[in-house]
Structure 1
Amino acid sequence: MPHFEEFYANKFRGGLGVTDAESVLDLRGVSRAKAEASIQDMLERSRFAAPKAVAIRLDPPPEGGGETLFQPVGKALLDAKKRGWIDRLQTLPAQDGLGFYVVLAGKPERGA
């Protein structure tokens, strides 16, 4: 889109989702403890690897309401973003369901 800055062009294109990610971490149907362990494992491993885009899929709220993994997973991802382990953090677009799209920062380059 030559007439828009990249930021605004991306707004028209819509959010990045599952098909844009290099891998998918599917946490649907897992317990909170297993989900938190999976997120921590992904974040720890990412610190020694190349940058990577990951879609994290979560269960929708149960019928009639109830808790989901959205808040605890989101908090862990936000903490990792503050530490510099995540370059980009956003929710998945509605058509992909509940979850997050993250770009892991990867291994930091060594200064000369």
Structure 2
Amino acid sequence: MPHLEDFYANKLRGGLGVTDAESVLDLRGAPRVQAEASLNDMLQRSRFSKGKTVAIRFDAPPEGGGETLFQPVGRLLLDAKRRGWIERLQTLPAEDGLGFYVALAGKPQREA
């Protein structure tokens, strides 16, 4: 089997990351309330524009353990996926740090 560079091998595996996204929502250093407000704003705006891909990044747990944005952000994204606002949702590859890769559905096309 031929050798593939990591970039192409990750594409085959579905490991889409920050470099593959059209934009990045960087929540690193943001308090939980601000992060949730930013995410909700992005999701609401996405319903009225064309679909796009977004990498959502946040901080790793502090030294010795602690809370991250993974669970609260994940819950908001899963709820949006159930509503049909998100077409694809996956975690970022390890080399990109903690976060999610999201394909927003955008505004539905009107039928003629």
The verdict on a shared fold, with TM-score over 0.5 as the criterion, is: yes
Structure 2 unaligned blocks of 5 or more:
1-8
Name the counterpart of 1:15: 15
Name the counterpart of 2:77: 77
Name the counterpart of 2:45: 45
Query: Identity of counterpart residues, as a percentage?
Result: 79
Q: TM-score, normalised by structure 1?
A: 0.88
Regions of 4+ moved over 2 Å: 9-14
User: Could you tell me how far 1:110 is from its partner in structure 2?
Assistant: 1.1
1:89 is paired with a residue whose SS is: strand
1:74 is paired with a residue whose SS is: helix
Name the counterpart of 1:54: 54
Q: Which string of whole-angstrom CA distances, capped at 9 and with x for unpartnered residues, describes residues 33-75 of structure 1? A: 0000000000000001111000000100001000000000000
1:87 is paired with a residue whose SS is: strand
Instruction: Read off the aligned partner of 1:65 and give its amino acid letter.
Output: G
Distance 1:94 1:43, change over 3 A: same
Once residues 111 and 38 of structure 2 are traced to their aligned partners in structure 1, the CA distance between those partners, rounded to angstroms, is: 31
User: Could you tell me how far 1:27 is from its partner in structure 2?
Assistant: 0.0
User: Could you tell me how far 1:86 is from its partner in structure 2?
Assistant: 0.2
Once residues 68 and 85 of structure 1 are traced to their aligned partners in structure 2, the CA distance between those partners, rounded to angstroms, is: 24
